[in-house]
Amino acid sequence: MEVLRIHAAADVRLHDEPTPLPAPDEELVRITAVGLCGSDLHWYEDGGIGRARISEPLVLGHEVGGVIADGPREGLRVAVEPARPCGHCATCLAGDANLCADVRFCGHGTTHGGLRTFMAWPRRLLLPVPERMADDEVALLEPLGIALHAIGLAHVRAGMSAGVFGCGPVGLLLIRTLRALGLGPILATDALPHRVEAALASGATEARLSSVEGQPDDIDSWGPVDVAFEVAGEDAALDTALRMVRLGGRVVVVGIPPTDQTTFGASLAREKGLTLVMSRRMQSQHLLRAIELVDDGVVDLGGLITARYPLREGRAAFEALVSRTGLKIVVQPSA
């Protein structure tokens, strides 16, 4: 089978390897779609993310959809839950499996992800998806789950106002979900004009162009909002969130910074009595909820995928990710 591995920063290579043999609790999945995201960008540009570095050639890809390739469920289309928490530590038993210290996560560390023709993965982590959902859309369910987890941390309710600062795919899914939950107005910023346009198309009440280093014009006259989401991984976006949220408001930090440091104005956050919450990945119930919301027509995934590549063009897919000229890039390993 074909496998795309990253060997070092900006060094991805296609390999021909044996098809994996599933363990007794696993099933073999033919991979149909893998979304590339901001964490994959960090691996490609920096050779790692946070404290994790490439120790051996790694198969990236954790936004994965596919079809079960053999056994009693052969032919069933599934979304892959990318996290394999231990299930028995105090953190898992407390209901915070996304924070498990012993988690194995697709495309991270030494756990290989979905950028290959086939992968073997635990049966319990392969969730059926409706037949009417397109293969490419299945790869968007995991980032929708990320958005749902962040929304849960924000303690939102209908009628609240919200700010989304950073309008890549997760930011856009946040806007769509917040709108579906009855929040408004929803204000948004991004440093790229096409993402500002996508924010408006996704349901933002107002969206403005910012810069990576600075704020939109007249920001102090814009808002305030009840809850803010930082989704860019940039200090300027976090500063915007702190300035835009109301006194006593809540800021959920979703973005991953380019270095392992985030800074913000402590005096402003302290004077406003803000609560800052760090969001990490999602929990399994969020992927189930994502499937339900899309199947019921509550959240629309249309228009988010702007480029598709076969696995053999993996390098081009990553270079497109670096260019930030589109929205979601999807690789189709079994195309």
Per residue in 104-140, pLDDT (tens digit) is 888 888 889 999 999 999 999 999 999 889 999 999 9
Calculate mean pLDDT across residues 210-234: 82
Alpha carbons 277 and 11: distance in angstroms, whole number: 35
Q: Using CA atoms, how far apart are residues 295 and 164, in angstroms rounded to an integer? A: 25
Helices (H), the chain: 38-46, 90-93, 135-138, 141-154, 169-180, 193-201, 235-244, 266-271, 284-295, 314-323
| Residue 245 predicted with pLDDT over 80 | yes
pLDDT in tens, 273-300: 999 998 888 887 889 999 999 999 999 9
Q: How far apart are CA 169 and CA 301, in angstroms?
A: 10
Quick check: 214 pLDDT over 80? no
Looking at residue 135, its pLDDT comes to 93
Mean pLDDT of 52-71: 92
For 35-59, the pLDDT digits (tens) are: 999 888 888 888 887 777 888 899 9
For the record, the structure tokens of 130 come out as 């409706």
User: What confidence tens digit (pLDDT) does each residue in 167-196 have?
Assistant: 999 999 999 999 999 998 999 999 999 999
C-alpha pair distances (Å), 9 with each of 45, 90, 204, 315: 5, 36, 36, 12
pLDDT of residue 52: 78
Domains, the chain: 2-140+301-332 (3.90.180.10), 144-278 (3.40.50.720)
Distance CA 137, CA 135 (A): 5
Nearest to 279 by CA among 301, 248, 246, 256: 256
Q: What radius of gyration do the chain's Cα atoms show?
A: 19
